[in-house]
Structure 1
Amino acid sequence: MGGRNEVLRRQSQRTKFNNTDMDFAFNLALGVSQIVGMNPGEVLAAVATVKDGDPRSWRESFYREARFLSRRADSCVQSGKLEQAGQRAFGAAYARRFALGFASPNTKAWNIIIHEMEQEFMRGAALSHVPIRPIEVPFESSSLPGYYLEIDGAPRPTLLVVGGGDTFREDLFYYGGYPGWRHGYNVLMVDLPGQGKTPDRGFTFRHDSSTSIAACLDWLEANASAPDARIALFGLSGGGYFTAQAASTDSRVAAWIASTPITDIGKVFSSEMGGVQKAPGWLTNMAAAIIGRTNSALQVSLEKYAWQFGTKDFAEVLARAPREAPIVDASSITCPSLFMFGAGEAKELARQTQALAAAMKARHQDVTVRKFEHAEGDAHCQVTNLKLAHQVIFDWLDRRFCTVSTASPESAPQREPTH
């Protein structure tokens, strides 16, 4: 939080809101609108009634837009405009997803909105002819929810997308699923413990993410129509740490992409939240309460993180996470790797990216670093220039896997006028 009253530095400048977490959420919504779901005009209509820093007004505004888009989808289906209906349904799904960004999992509305989001997401996929299906990956005594996008029965490379601390499986679709489909890749998108709705299944964030990723790879081996050894792992935000664990231990990972790679999550905590982390738990909670009175958006985020970690409060998260999270053995990572980071990211994320790349280059390993400058969109996870990020990723993957993207742009639904 580093004195900025935000969870993590994620961009270099403010776009609309003074509240930095809300401003990043706005930039994310606009960025996603360039890929799938809401159009920019619909995002702007939603935020027009948002009070700066007020999570309730954010939730209500995006949920109101979501219901509007659901009605539009219904109308388009009734009139036979199925392509428009698919776009509106995807928009309704992501408007609900953005409403969840500042919602508490301790409310009745939480699970209702998630259920509606999932329904609209699958309706959008069906109407848009996206070959995706919901799946459950067996894990321990339960399972992890995900989606599997399989283009056909032919052998194809697969992209396994792993999110971070603020993602649902639906987010992984715009990060990797949709562009993967456009480029001829099968894509597996799964919520790991702590992500999405998994805390309600008894799964919270844990130190051994390689085991849950291994379960995903096991599922892929057992269920892919034509198993293919060309498997790339793509980790976003905290997923850069989760996937680093898998890349260092699982030989099935043929290529690794991270935005950004994290080998020492404890250093990220100490660098970004150092002063708060060193304070006694009661003082941290008191500080959080004081911040919550002036920054209710941040307070909602801290409550959600405690739920995801399975702790009673955020002070316990700060105490446990750095202590329990192991440092990844970077010398064990040998697969070709692509690292992406933005100039507006937290300094420790950039430092770990560059340090890991330097160590790998010293061992003469195949590693590429792509820095996104301010002029091209320097936000966390490249949310302000997802199209460019996708081009970088699949250009790199095609070269490593010696493939040519086979899905033409015409095979994917195109945006059309909203009249």
Structure 2
Amino acid sequence: MRVHFSTRIFDYQTLRTMAYTTFGGAEPGEVLTTVERIEEGETASWHAEWRETAERTERAADEAAAASRHRTARFAYLRAHNYYRTAEFFLSARDPRRRPTYERCRETFRAGVALLDAPPRRVDLPYEDTTLPGYLFEPPERSGPGPTVICLGGFDSLAEELYFLCGVPEALARGYTVLLFDGPGQGAPLRQRELTARPDWERVVGPVIDALSPYGSVDPDRIGVIGVSFGGYYAPRAAAYDGRIAACVAFDHMHDLWRASAYEHPRLAPLLERVPDVTVNALATAGERFSVEARWLMENSRWVFGVESAAELQRTLRRYSLSGVAGRIDCPMLVLAGEDDHFVPLGLAEEFLEELRAPTTARVFKTEEGAGEHCQVGNLRLATSVVYDWLDETLAGGRENAPSPGPARG
């Protein structure tokens, strides 16, 4: 699906930003007039124009808030958040503009959700010797414990973005308690404390589930996890080692990060495993010179994973695989995939399904549905309906009433 740019990563990020219109995080006219001002493939232009749109939208939100037009202000703040997030996207970790842009992104989100009828609790979740920041949304019309979903972001997402990507308004309307948080390698922990990614996310999610126990809106027998993008690795990994998870959604599947990253280069990838590090690094440097996508992937990967070189990154990515682990999952699984996904090839989905032994439902989204892209950002209404319809059925009675093992695909 092409929106505006011929540069693939620019066009996909445009679609991603516009996708959040579904849940109040964008307006198509604001998105399209912004990208019309951006020079093809120029990341400096990308930042400047998205920043301008974000600032203009934030000013409109401030004016509405000052006039006590709270509903107008709420939606404007949420749109400003999304536009600041997009403005930050291509900045390098060392760029002095990155931290201030992120801070505006986070603060406008908080200003927006503070104006909801039931604002979320801001929570600090235990993690080793520190905490992880999060938001606990509780459905205003439900009293007592009920089903809960924990949303896990991925390689470049923020906890705040998950409000739109995971369809939190839809979840709340169906009576779910929802937890969003940034883990190591994400959001505030990466930007403020340099906490980088780790493969054993059961050690992240486990303490988070512990921290939910005091909240009366959480039924401990009906906890589901939704892993978005690279979270499609994190969520199944947590489910494989934590029996308290009653349902798991891989949105999209991401069971083997190295194989996904090398899928488009089937002849080059095996060669890179045999050549010296200096050659791997030289090839990566050459690629960064000629491709804005390659440059962004390498820069962001070094930052997220805490590595210095392409050779080190290649070895690190191989640690993020569910091969030999997926068979441990015993809760029901929903595996989503898009036939046009350029990050996670559809060909790898079947391999993941073959490894799963738990009751499994698979859904492949088609081009003609407008949902074939990565994380179905062309049709979030369809994708989140599939997710929450499945969770409604799967979490209806808790783990004790979950389907018995035996994969069911469709």
Normalising by structure 1, what TM-score?
Answer: 0.86
Please name the residue that 1:5 is paired with.
none
* Distance in 1, Cα, partners of 2:365 & 2:174: 22
How many Å apart are 1:161 and its aligned residue?
A: 0.6
* Distance in 2, Cα, partners of 1:346 & 1:357: 19
Please name the residue that 2:170 is paired with.
179
* Distance in 2, Cα, partners of 1:228 & 1:154: 12
Distance of aligned partners of 1:223 and 1:349 in 2 relative to their CA distance in 1, 3 Å threshold: farther
Distance of aligned partners of 1:320 and 1:357 in 2 relative to their CA distance in 1, 3 Å threshold: closer
* Distance in 2, Cα, partners of 1:237 & 1:300: 17
1:121 maps onto 2:109 in alignment = yes
Please name the residue that 2:392 is paired with.
398
* Distance in 2, Cα, partners of 1:340 & 1:324: 19
Distance of aligned partners of 1:375 and 1:325 in 2 relative to their CA distance in 1, 3 Å threshold: closer
User: Any conservation in 2 of the 1:159–1:232 contact (CA below 8 Å)?
Assistant: yes
User: Any conservation in 1 of the 2:260–2:343 contact (CA below 8 Å)?
Assistant: no
Equivalent AA in structure 1 for residue 106 of structure 2: E
User: Any conservation in 2 of the 1:131–1:151 contact (CA below 8 Å)?
Assistant: no
User: Any conservation in 1 of the 2:64–2:70 contact (CA below 8 Å)?
Assistant: yes
Please name the residue that 2:300 is paired with.
304
* Distance in 2, Cα, partners of 1:207 & 1:382: 25
Equivalent AA in structure 2 for residue 159 of structure 1: V
Distance of aligned partners of 1:238 and 1:324 in 2 relative to their CA distance in 1, 3 Å threshold: closer
Distance of aligned partners of 1:347 and 1:187 in 2 relative to their CA distance in 1, 3 Å threshold: closer
Stretches of structure 1 that go unaligned for 5 or more consecutive residues are 1-12, 404-419
Distance of aligned partners of 1:81 and 1:347 in 2 relative to their CA distance in 1, 3 Å threshold: closer
User: Any conservation in 1 of the 2:25–2:75 contact (CA below 8 Å)?
Assistant: yes
Equivalent AA in structure 2 for residue 172 of structure 1: L
Please name the residue that 1:237 is paired with.
229
Q: Which of the numbers 4, 9, 19 marks the counterpart of 1:31?
A: 19
- Which secondary structure does the structure 2 equivalent of 1:197 belong to? helix
Aligned length: 388
Please name the residue that 2:404 is paired with.
none
User: Any conservation in 1 of the 2:255–2:321 contact (CA below 8 Å)?
Assistant: no
How many Å apart are 1:31 and its aligned residue?
A: 1.0
Q: Structure 1 stretch 198-207 or stretch 67-76: which is displaced more?
A: 198-207
Equivalent AA in structure 1 for residue 189 of structure 2: T
Equivalent AA in structure 1 for residue 331 of structure 2: C
How many Å apart are 1:204 and its aligned residue?
A: 0.8
Equivalent AA in structure 1 for residue 375 of structure 2: C
How many Å apart are 1:160 and its aligned residue?
A: 0.6
Please name the residue that 1:206 is paired with.
198
For 1:8-407, list aligned pairs within 5 A. 13-152=1-140, 153-176=143-166, 177-199=168-190, 200-272=192-264, 275=268, 277-278=272-273, 279-323=275-319, 327-346=323-342, 349-360=345-356, 365-376=358-369, 377-402=371-396
- Which secondary structure does the structure 2 equivalent of 1:105 belong to? coil
How many Å apart are 1:347 and its aligned residue?
A: 8.9
* Distance in 2, Cα, partners of 1:357 & 1:292: 34
* Distance in 2, Cα, partners of 1:166 & 1:347: 13
User: Any conservation in 1 of the 2:43–2:90 contact (CA below 8 Å)?
Assistant: yes
CA deviation string 1:8-45 (max 9, x = no partner): xxxxx433212111111011111112222221111112
Quick one: percent identity of the two aligned structures? 29
How many Å apart are 1:255 and its aligned residue?
A: 0.5
How many Å apart are 1:73 and its aligned residue?
A: 0.7
* Distance in 2, Cα, partners of 1:126 & 1:324: 36
* Distance in 1, Cα, partners of 2:245 & 2:176: 15
Distance of aligned partners of 1:338 and 1:379 in 2 relative to their CA distance in 1, 3 Å threshold: same
Normalising by structure 2, what TM-score?
Answer: 0.88
CA deviation string 1:113-166 (max 9, x = no partner): 111111110111122334313222111111122211122542111111111111
* Distance in 2, Cα, partners of 1:117 & 1:246: 28
* Distance in 1, Cα, partners of 2:285 & 2:209: 42
CA deviation string 1:78-120 (max 9, x = no partner): 3332211111111111110111111112122211111111111
How many Å apart are 1:371 and its aligned residue?
A: 0.8
Equivalent AA in structure 2 for residue 154 of structure 1: G
How many Å apart are 1:239 and its aligned residue?
A: 0.9
* Distance in 2, Cα, partners of 1:50 & 1:381: 25
User: Any conservation in 2 of the 1:265–1:327 contact (CA below 8 Å)?
Assistant: no
* Distance in 2, Cα, partners of 1:328 & 1:223: 35
* Distance in 2, Cα, partners of 1:222 & 1:34: 32
- Which secondary structure does the structure 2 equivalent of 1:211 belong to? helix
CA deviation string 1:164-215 (max 9, x = no partner): 1111111211122232122221111111211113224242111211110112
Distance of aligned partners of 1:318 and 1:188 in 2 relative to their CA distance in 1, 3 Å threshold: same
- Which secondary structure does the structure 1 equivalent of 2:213 belong to? helix
How many Å apart are 1:281 and its aligned residue?
A: 3.1
Distance of aligned partners of 1:226 and 1:329 in 2 relative to their CA distance in 1, 3 Å threshold: closer
- Which secondary structure does the structure 1 equivalent of 2:144 belong to? coil
Stretches of structure 2 that go unaligned for 5 or more consecutive residues are 398-410
* Distance in 2, Cα, partners of 1:110 & 1:227: 39
Cα RMSD for the two superposed structures: 2.2
